[in-house]
Amino acid sequence: MTVRPPFVAIRHALSPRGPVRSAMLLAPVLAGLAACSGSSHRADTGLALPQNHLLNEDRSANGGDDQLANNGVNAYLWRGAIDTLSFMPFASADAVGGVILTDWYTPPATRNERFKITAYILSRNLRSDAIRVSVFRQALTDGQWEDTPVAPNTVSDITSKILTRARQLRADGGH
């Protein structure tokens, strides 16, 4: 049996002298390529689904390590922010960059206002200055959404809830 480099074997298999041989040699190559082009990791984990899919995934630290995959984001703060903001629809959540963007949320009690929140995890440490929260509010006036200021304590209240949840997760071992 002669061993040839792959490109020689493929070129020989594609020659007019060996159509049966070409089918036999290309079948494993094509099967391998088909397997590689199957569903991606994102599709397997459901990360492309337009819903708050992150709520079902364990974002806690593993083995006592409080960084999320060693990327500079505190896992407890990340999960605390996800848990605290879970009542709102997520537009984007990037665990590597530590950014959570919500979509507009209209509270059931007030149909003439809506809110959007952005949370940034800034550090590996579980401290109050490791998270920054921005809240945007719009009010419906004459059929148009207009930017309006939020109550002065809204940002600090949400930040406190995230920190409280993160501390609770750390005390519970990430659960």
Query: In the chain, where do the E strands start and end?
Result: 90-94, 99-102, 113-121, 131-141, 144-148
CB–CB of 124/131 below 8 Å? no
pLDDT of 20 over the 80 cut: no
Q: How far is CA 35 from the centre of its chain?
A: 25
pTM of the model: 0.60
Each residue of 25-38: pLDDT tens digit?
Answer: 434 433 443 444 44
What are 45-76's pLDDT values in tens digits? 443 334 444 444 444 433 334 444 455 789 99
Q: What angle do CA 66, 67, 72 make, to 5 degrees?
A: 145
For domain 69-173, which CATH number applies: 3.40.50, 3.10.110, 3.30.530, 1.10.3210? 3.30.530
